Amino acid sequence: MIKEYLELGEITGTHSIRGEVRLNPWCDSPDFAKKFKTLYFDGEGKTPVTLKNARPHGNIAILKLEGIDTVEQAQKLRGKVLYIRRSDAHLPEGTWFIAELIGCEVRDADDESIVYGTLTDVSETGANDVWHITNEKGEYLIPAIPQVVIDTDVSKGIVTIRPLKGIFDHED
């Protein structure tokens, strides 16, 4: 499900007396924040803020936001979530934001009448992501690999898969 504004991460504290903030990024890496000129304090894009500088610092990002010039101003932002406009992200073909995958209906690639459930979570394991598919009988884990995930259409909210043998066999 395509969302216009997506969560980038949460401001967890201050970094310097110049008003920099520490961001716990909810994305692949702290470097991702550097791609944007404008961030938002809300999920509707009504409260923009210009990003003057961003740099990784371990597993967090240090941000300098326009108009935040003192440690006291930065401290007031603790706990706030920053958002990005999706159209500013420029993702490579065949990649999606996890937030867009969550809620997609998961169908069989060979028989569209078979619905396995809803994609409810994604675990990042290093080798490949693992998608959590939930239905009335429980939760199932599938590897997000090309042999299993055949098509992903987040605009329609549909993912088609060809599951590995045994994952859904006891569904009958």
- Range 24-27, long-range pairs (CB < 8 A, 24+ positions): 24/60, 25/59, 25/60, 25/61
**CATH 2.30.30.240 domain range(s) in the chain:** 98-171
- Asked whether residue 117 carries a pLDDT value surpassing 90, the answer given is yes
**Rg (the chain; Cα; Å):** 19
pLDDT at 2: 73
pLDDT at 8: 93
**CATH 2.40.30.60 domain range(s) in the chain:** 5-86
pTM exceeds 0.85: no
Which pLDDT tens digit goes with each residue over 19-72?
999 999 887 778 888 889 999 999 999 999 999 999 999 889 999 999 999 999
What residue type is assigned to position 52 of the chain? Answer: K
pLDDT at 138: 93
pLDDT at 110: 94
- Could you give phi then psi for residue 54, rounded to 5 degrees? -145, 140
Q: In whole angstroms, what is the distance from residue 148 CA to residue 106 CA?
A: 12
pLDDT at 126: 79
Which residue in the block uniquely carries the two structure tokens 């939930």? 134
pLDDT at 1: 66
What single-letter DSSP state applies at residue 34? G
Which pLDDT tens digit goes with each residue over 126-164?
788 999 999 999 999 999 999 999 999 988 999 999 999
- Asked whether residue 171 carries a pLDDT value surpassing 70, the answer given is no
**98-171 maps to CATH 2.30.30.240:** yes
- Count CB neighbours of 31 within 10 A: 13
- Range 47-53, long-range pairs (CB < 8 A, 24+ positions): 49/82
pLDDT at 63: 96
Q: Which CATH superfamily is domain 5-86 in?
A: RimM (2.40.30.60)
